[in-house]
């Protein structure tokens, strides 16, 4: 929700400062989804960091905010990326520029995914995902109709989710969990994907009740981010162009919290 106020207290007066908050995210670091994230090859590759900042956040100034975040010494010494040597190392260098895409956060119910049942991608009984003849798309093996919907735009079922639907943060999370890591054991039923998506979404975004409508709404702007070096090349979360290398930032303007969710994908196992 964009909100502009001309009062002096609502205007950032200089560079933001960030301090890391030591917080365990139960849905990612804890036991709640542990076994499924291991099964999908994402446990340990999916990371989450939290920071607090010192001045009001203005959504129209998001680019400045994100750049200053990536230049802050406390961020550079705590935010980690996967190095060429195969180890987690601190970011350690100031980001020259960023590409940002603001995502939507309009969805507050898993009914958003009911169309998968309505269009027979998932069977009503048991929630079983319909299988298909195995194909390859970029770095992925496509062995069921769900993955066709998610990434194969040449198929009619792809239009089940519109362009705007695909800009929803909850859709991004769902897609990432369905696609998984380098070594991924896919689910036969859809419910585990929905459950993990819902739990992570709820932990990453902040909600409040609108005073006028009394409806619950998400108050955290969410951005998909690529950090660029001085040559204009992406280097964080990695230098690859893989779908499953991603960074998202959610910003709570009320509590002044920043959450960074990142994932490192080593590439498809069948390319090795």
Kindly report the number of other CB atoms within 10 A of residue 220's CB atom: 22
Cα–Cα dist 35/25, whole Å = 15
pLDDT confidence band for 29 (50 / 70 / 90): very high
Give 10's DSSP letter: G
Interval 148-202: pLDDT, tens: 999 999 989 999 999 999 999 999 999 999 999 988 999 999 999 999 999 999 9
Kindly report the number of other CB atoms within 10 A of residue 256's CB atom: 16
Interval 240-251: pLDDT, tens: 778 899 999 999
Q: Where are the domains of the chain?
A: 8-103+218-264, 110-203
Tokens at residue 59, please?
């959504």
Residue 269 has what pLDDT? 53
Residue 120 has what pLDDT? 96
Q: Quick check: 46 and 28 in contact, CB under 8 A?
A: yes
DSSP 212-244: TT--EEE---EEEEEEE-TTS-EEES-SS--TT
Residue 223 has what pLDDT? 98
In words, the CATH class of domain 8-103+218-264 is alpha beta
Residue 13 has what pLDDT? 52
> Rounded to 5 degrees, what are φ and ψ at 236?
-135, 125
Interval 111-122: pLDDT, tens: 999 999 999 999
Mean pLDDT for 254-268 is 89
Which pTM does this prediction carry? 0.91
HSE-CB of 159 using CA atoms within 13 angstroms: 3
Kindly report the number of other CB atoms within 10 A of residue 107's CB atom: 16
High-pLDDT (> 90) share of the chain, %? 71
Q: Is 140 exposed, middle or buried (0-12, 13-18, 19+ CB in 10 A)?
A: buried
Own/partner contacts of 36-41, CB < 8 Å, gap of 24 or more, are 36/192, 36/196, 37/196, 39/184, 39/185, 40/177, 40/180, 40/181, 40/184, 40/185, 41/180, 41/181, 41/182, 41/183, 41/184, 41/185
Residue 9 has what pLDDT? 39
Interval 56-112: pLDDT, tens: 999 999 999 999 999 999 999 999 887 766 778 888 777 899 999 999 999 999 999
How far apart are the two ends of the chain, measured CA to CA in Å?
Answer: 45
Tokens at residue 125, please?
């009984």
pLDDT confidence band for 12 (50 / 70 / 90): very low
pLDDT confidence band for 272 (50 / 70 / 90): very low
């Amino acid at each position: 929700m964009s909100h502009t106020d001309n009062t002096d207290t609502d205007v950032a007066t200089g560079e933001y400062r960030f301090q890391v908050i030591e917080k365990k995210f139960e849905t990612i670091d804890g036991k709640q989804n542990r076994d499924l994230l291991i099964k999908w090859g994402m446990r340990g590759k999916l990371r989450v960091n939290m920071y607090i900042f010192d001045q009001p956040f203005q959504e129209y100034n998001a680019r400045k905010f994100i750049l200053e975040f990536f230049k802050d010494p406390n961020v550079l010494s705590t935010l980690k990326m996967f190095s060429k040597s195969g180890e987690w190392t601190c970011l350690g260098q100031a980001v020259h520029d960023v590409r940002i895409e603001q995502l939507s956060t309009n969805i507050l119910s898993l009914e958003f995914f009911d169309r998968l049942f309505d269009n027979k991608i998932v069977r009503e009984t048991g929630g079983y995902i319909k299988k298909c003849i195995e194909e390859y798309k970029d770095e992925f093996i496509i062995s069921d109709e769900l993955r066709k919907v998610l990434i194969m735009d040449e198929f009619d079922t792809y239009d089940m989710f519109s362009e705007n639907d695909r800009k929803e943060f909850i859709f991004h999370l769902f897609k990432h969990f369905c696609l998984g890591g380098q070594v991924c054991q896919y689910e036969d039923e859809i419910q585990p994907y929905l459950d993990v998506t819902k739990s992570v979404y709820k932990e990453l975004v902040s909600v409040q009740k609108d005073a006028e409508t009394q409806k619950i709404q998400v108050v955290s702007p969410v951005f998909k981010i690529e950090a660029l070096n001085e040559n204009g090349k992406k280097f964080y979360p990695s230098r690859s162009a893989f779908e499953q290398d991603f960074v998202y930032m959610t910003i709570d303007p009320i509590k002044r919290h920043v959450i960074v969710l990142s994932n490192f994908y080593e590439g498809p196992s069948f390319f090795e």
